[in-house]
Structure 1
Amino acid sequence: MEGSSDIDLSKISLRPLGLADIDDFMVWGTDEKVAIFCTWEPYATKEEALNYIKEKILPQTPGSGQSALTTGQLVPFCSNSGSDRCRGELGYVLGSKYWGKGIATQAVKLVADTIFKEWTHLERLEAFVDVDNVGSQRVLEKSGFLREGVLRKFFILKGRTRDMVIFSLLSTECEA
């Protein structure tokens, strides 16, 4: 297990994210260390965050994979990659005060397993990570994802072109 943790990793479970999760959402949503590698800036108010949940999270179609851990600190999600139904994309956020405790690794394993069981059409799960986000790269490696390579000048993040590392996990590689 990474670091010390007072969170029982075996009790991590998934459920849909809702408006009642606003306080937990704000833990990472206002965290400047988290936002560095995200497309959004830290949320300034609860109202702003509630609007995001109402407009972007709640309208998701059932089975979209938008989920929250019952610990309330991590929001892993999966979405289909456009019209290519065999692939899904995984992403997650975790408040910086919870980094290094094994929470993200356990959650990513759980999400990947759940996604492949519920979305039987998926054969591949992908994750794109900024080359400078070494912690997130380690999470994916520990979760069984394979580092496939670096996509140079792949993504514009906050006005700057960034290199991204692509990771993948095939349905046949996921723990049953």
Structure 2
Amino acid sequence: MERNSSHSDGKEGKEGFLEISLRPFDLSDVDDLMVWATDDRVSRICSVVTCTCREEAVKYIKDCVIPHPWYRAICIKNRPVGFIKVTPNSGGDRCRAELGYALATKYWGQGIATKAVKMVVSSIFSEWSHLERLEALVLVENPGSQRVLEKAGFQREAVLKKHLTHRGRTRDLVMYSLLSTDPKL
């Protein structure tokens, strides 16, 4: 089982300095996942799957999370407080992958998402040697997530007008990217 661990950016939480780790989800994480999967403040600015009951969350973990090629829990003391995933493209787009993440609102503004993104960036290009470009799409009205990506080294590329229907409305997204620094590519 993969374990990545890092201390936060020096922000002190209620229990001292927060150490975060990334690990695969398992079914025992369902109650922790429900914290952000049922939070309207999270789903309002992220295209996360909203689960209205425990059974939906169990099905989501079994059918979508566990089989996903790179979907990890962002953990504090091994308890999931969010997720981060890298979704690969295929065929001619195999050189690109998309980054997505969400965090329980209790942990917003503490540097946790930034640290998790940096942890992924530090390993994903070597784990997937074919990967040359990591992309992230963020709702224009989500400046917090835009700051997370910028702090992790992503470059803002464009605003994609009317790119996604989210919660019944067509939304504009900001495209961010990070390119591999591998000299062989």
Ranges in structure 2 where 5+ consecutive residues have no aligned partner:
1-8
Query: In the TM superposition, what is the alpha-carbon distance from 1:3 to its structure 2 partner?
Result: 5.7
Q: Counterpart in 1 of 2:160? A: 151
Paired residues for 1:93-132 under 5 Å: 93-132=102-141
**CA distance in structure 1 between the partners assigned to 2:155 and 2:85 by the alignment:** 19
Which residue of structure 1 aligns with residue 4 of structure 2?
none
CA contact (8 A) 2:137 2:176 kept: yes
Corresponding position: 1:134 with 2:143: yes
Q: CA deviation at 1:4?
A: 4.3
**Partner Cα separation in structure 1 for residue 70 and residue 49 of structure 2:** 23
- In the alignment, does 2:96 pair up with 1:87? yes
| Structure number with higher relative contact order (C-alpha < 8 Å, ≥ 6 residues apart) | 1
Sequence identity, in percent? 51
Q: How far 1:18 moved relative to its partner?
A: 1.2
Q: Structure 2 length normalisation: TM-score?
A: 0.84
Partner SS, residue 45 of structure 2: coil
- Give the TM-score taking structure 1 as reference length: 0.88
CA contact under 8 A between 1:2 and 1:101: conserved in structure 2?
no
> Comparing both structures, which one devotes a greater share of its residues to strand?
2
Matches of 1:157 and 1:147 in 2, distance apart?
Answer: 21
Is 1:162 matched up with 2:171? yes
* 1:76 partner SS: strand
The runs of 5 or more residues in structure 1 that have no matched partner are none
Distance in 2 separating the partners of 1:7 and 1:28: 23
Give 2:33's match in structure 1, choosing from 25, 28, 37.
25
Over the aligned positions, Cα root-mean-square deviation in angstroms equals 1.9
Confirm or deny that 1:68 pairs with 2:73: yes
